[in-house]
Amino acid sequence: MGMMDQDILKVLYTEKQIAARIEAMGMEMYGALKDKDPLFVSVLRGAFIFMADIVRACQVRCDVEFIAVSSYGNATSSSGAVKITHDIQQDITGRNIVVIEDILDSGNTLHFLKQYFMTKGAASVSICTLLDKPSRRTKAITADYIGFTVPDEFVVGYGLDYCQKYRNLPYIGVLKPEVYSGEE
Ligand code: PRP
């Protein structure tokens, strides 16, 4: 038992379940993307672990990029404005972009990024998310590839954080409420 496990209320997906799901997703994506010379774009920081696993599960010829964004949405402002803090490093004109995310929540981030990549001349933008939380959606956006659909609970691990911690848990779990003590 690691030192972070005591903060977990319950495990939603074990390391094994995640690996099995990603293997199946990778095969599905391979079928759809094998002739598309896709560019996989991971959204930092949460998606970094999923990115590493999904690109190896999907054995297509591809390149990888990383983008970082910050969101200015908060409880009082639902504008959901998104700002790019680290941009991708290559011309994407005519490319088939596959955005790799750890979680699709309100949809603000992916709604923005889809527009952004289309404006920059991408041929297509598809979305691959490990977790989908449709109950929280405020933007009309759906993912093309979904690992698991999750309830509206505070999930951490496998890249997902609480106050930048727990990202390195190998499984996905629900945080005990006393850990975040009502300050979600
Ligand atoms: C999370 C997640 C997505 C975004 C999804 O990132 O990685 O990028 O929120 O939420 P949305 O659908 O409501 O836009 P976060 O801002 O927590 O940063 P992180 O990736 O560094 O953890």
C-alpha pair distances (Å), 93 with each of 29, 33, 89, 135: 21, 17, 12, 34
Cα of 107 vs centre of ligand 1, distance in Å, is 9
For tokens 């680290």, name the residue. 86
For tokens 């995310």, name the residue. 101
Alpha-carbon distance 96 to 85, whole Å? 22
Residue 71 is predicted with a pLDDT of 80
Interval 18-73: pLDDT, tens: 999 999 999 999 999 999 999 999 999 999 999 999 999 999 999 999 999 998 65
Catalytic site residue from 37, 105, 132, 144: 105
Q: Please answer whether residues 17 and 75 qualify as being in contact, where contact means their C-beta atoms are separated by less than 8 angstroms.
A: no
Interval 129-172: pLDDT, tens: 999 999 999 999 999 999 999 999 999 999 999 999 999 999 99
Interval 114-134: pLDDT, tens: 999 999 999 999 999 999 999
Alpha-carbon distance 2 to 73, whole Å? 33
For range 92-115, the mean pLDDT: 97
Judge whether 37 counts as a catalytic residue.
no
Residue 77 is predicted with a pLDDT of 44
Q: Which residues pair with 162 in a beta bridge?
A: 165
C-alpha pair distances (Å), 169 with each of 41, 122, 125, 174: 23, 34, 30, 12
Residue 75 is predicted with a pLDDT of 42
- For a mutational test of ligand 1's pocket, the pick from 82, 105, 108, 160, i.e. the residue with the most ligand atoms closer than 8 A to its C-beta, is 105
Crossing angle (nearest 10°) for helices 15-33 and 48-57: 60
pLDDT at 183 over 80: no
pTM of the full predicted structure?
0.94
Query: How much is the mean pLDDT over the chain?
Result: 94
Which tokens hold the place of 176? Answer: 């005990």
Which tokens hold the place of 177? Answer: 């409420």
Cα of 57 vs centre of ligand 1, distance in Å, is 23
Interval 78-88: pLDDT, tens: 466 899 999 99
- Residue nearest atom 10 of ligand 1, based on CA coordinates: 105
Which atom of ligand 1 is nearest to 102's Cα?
A: 7
Mark residue 166 as left, alpha or beta (left: phi above 0; alpha: psi -120 to 50; beta: remaining): left
Q: What percent of the chain has pLDDT over 70?
A: 93
